[in-house]
A = this chain, B = another copy of it.
Amino acid sequence: MEQVAWKGLFLSFFDYKTEKYVIAKNKKVGILYRVVQLSILAYLVGWVFVVKKGYQDTDTFLQSSVITKLKGVAFTNTTELGERLWDVVDYVIPPQGENVFFVMTNLIVTPNQRQDMCPESANIPDALCHTDGDCLAGEAVVAGNGVKTGRCLKARESTRGTCEILAWCPVEKRYKPKKALLASAENFTVYIKNSIRFPKFNFSKTNVLATNDESYLKSCRYSTEHRYCPIFILGNIVKWAGSDFQEMALEGGVIGIQIEWNCDLDKAPSECNPHYSFSRLDTKFAESISSGYNFRFAKYYQDAEGVEYRTLIKAYGIRFDVMVNGKAGKFNIIPTIINIGSGLALMGAGAFFCDLVLLYLIKKSNFYRGKKYEEVKSSSRKSLPTPSLNGNQSPDQLGGL
């Protein structure tokens, strides 16, 4: 007997249990449900599969290397500096050609600074003085260039003056430049070489067009017509970012160059191409405090006696940040199944919503509620429709998950 029962149990394990449905011949709810089903299907096919490519395994981790190289020379003739030619080594900082580079477009030069005593700049509020008592010896000038010596230096007939300081003398003259010195930087070009690799798919590419035509890559300039040319004119980059080069050259700024790789590796590798976009990163939001972009650096020298002196340069210019990001996708069975499964699971939510309508909102909801829910009580053994009144069939259902 027991063996038979176990056999029955084993066999019943492979019976297929399917949910029993009640057909409600209500066209309104029926149409509603079909609409819900259709929406979910449309969402699944349209959004998840076509737009979001849900059948693909994606990789957003990108190995990227950026090499930049500028080209261009500018000639200036000012009373301060005389005739001078500026080449790449002079105006690009730092020189390494990494993904962030700065092009100097304007500068204030203070040559021959030495460690000495001199009057502080009159523009600094903390350095103004009437008597020597205003200049506490040893105290650093707030937002200034040096340490007070204790003396107040005045012009002959003036009652006000500025404190004498120990500093790199003479101190820098504070003025806002009116015209960009290296205005011709607008025509300089930058060659941007970007090599990327998606390690998950072992896929590599560069933004340099694979061509045998060497002269094309030497003479081309990036534009909407030449999308795969990696040489950009600085003036164009600034224009595309929505700014004016001459204005930026005067006070400086930061420009972002985004390179986006959005690669569908189910297609041919030649379809995977970079997309460039340009934007100004330093918003001109707060005009008040140090708008633009500038910094100071110095060239240090020693004279014949071994005494150090320096040329201080306040450099205004445009910093370019090359930012690379990307995503690659390739067909994979797991995300495909997951997405289909989740979509179907969503249908359950749709059915739940339609049930609410059927059972509580329509006129005959009372009737349908009675049909949908079959009441059973363990005490009342007289209910007719149950085909399983005998105790024997219990093992048959044991596998019923």
Contact string against B for A residues 62-106, beta-carbon threshold 8 Å, 1 for contact and 0 otherwise: 011101010111110000000111011110011111101010000
| Complex: A349 Cα to B144 Cα, angstroms | 69
Contacts of A223 in B (CB 8 A): none
Residue of B nearest to A31 (CB): B14
Flag if A214 contacts B289 (CB, 8 Å): yes
Residues of B within 8 A of A93 (CB): 95-96
Contacts A146-B87, A167-B73, A400-B359 given; indicate if A204 touches B283 (C-beta within 8 A).
yes
Q: Which of A155-163, A174-182, A189-197, A232-240 is the contact stretch?
A: A189-197
Type the 1/0 row for A135-165, where 1 means its CB is closer than 8 Å to any CB of B. 0001011011111000000000000000000
Report, nearest first, the 5 A-B pairs whose CB atoms are least far apart.
Answer: A65-B281, A370-B388, A385-B385, A14-B30, A344-B349
Instruction: Confirm or deny: A243 has a beta carbon within 8 angstroms of a beta carbon on chain B.
Output: no
Query: Which among B12, B84, B385 is the interface contact of A115 at CB below 8 angstroms?
Result: B84
Of B17, B143, B208, B341, the residue contacting A373 (CB under 8 A) is B17
Least distance between A35 CB and chain B CB atoms (Å): 10
Interface residues of A in 268-305 (CB under 8 A from B): 279, 281-283, 285-286, 288-290, 293, 295-304
Q: Which residues of B contact A303 (CB under 8 A)?
A: 304
* In the complex with contacts A83-B166, A285-B210, A22-B20 CB distance below 8 A: yes
B contact residues around A88 at 8 Å (CB): 296
| Number of copies of this kind of chain in the complex | 3
- Residues in B whose Cβ lies below 8 Å from that of A301: 301-302
Residue count of chain A within 8 Å CB distance of chain B: 161
Pairs across A and B, CB under 8 Å, 30 listed = A13-B34, A15-B23, A15-B26, A17-B373, A20-B372, A23-B373, A63-B323, A65-B282, A73-B141, A75-B138, A75-B147, A85-B147, A89-B296, A93-B96, A95-B295, A96-B295, A111-B306, A193-B282, A195-B282, A217-B286, A217-B288, A344-B352, A360-B398, A364-B378, A369-B400, A370-B386, A370-B393, A371-B388, A373-B388, A375-B388
| A27 to B368 CA separation, bound complex (whole angstroms) | 24
Please tell me if the beta carbons of A96 and B98 are within 8 angstroms of each other in the complex: no
Q: How far is the CA of A296 from the CA of B96 in the complex (A)?
A: 8
A322 interfacial contact with B, CB 8 Å: no
Tell me if A246 is interfacial: C-beta within 8 Å of chain B.
no
Which of B375, B386, B391 is the one whose CB lies under 8 Å from A23?
Answer: B375
A392 smallest CB distance to B (angstroms): 10
B-side contacts of A370, CB under 8 Å: 386, 388-389, 393-394, 397
A341 to B37, CA, bound (A): 13
Is A123 located at the chain interface by the 8 A CB criterion? no
Interface assignment of A336: CB less than 8 Å from any CB of chain B: no
Query: B11, B18, B37, B205: which contacts A21 (Cβ < 8 A)?
Result: B18
A254 CB–B CB distance under 8 Å? yes
Select from chain B the residue with minimum beta-carbon distance to A293: B67
> Which chain B residue shows the least CB distance to A292?
B67
Q: Does A186 contact B (CB under 8 A)?
A: no
* Bound CA–CA A370/B208 (angstroms): 66
Least CB distance, A94 to chain B, in whole angstroms = 6
Cα A16 to Cα B375 with chains together (Å): 10
Partner of A372 from the list B18, B145, B340, B355 (CB cut-off 8 Å) is: B18
Question: Which residues does chain B contribute within 8 Å of A310, judged by CB atoms?
Answer: 89
A90: which B residues are within 8 A, CB to CB? 298
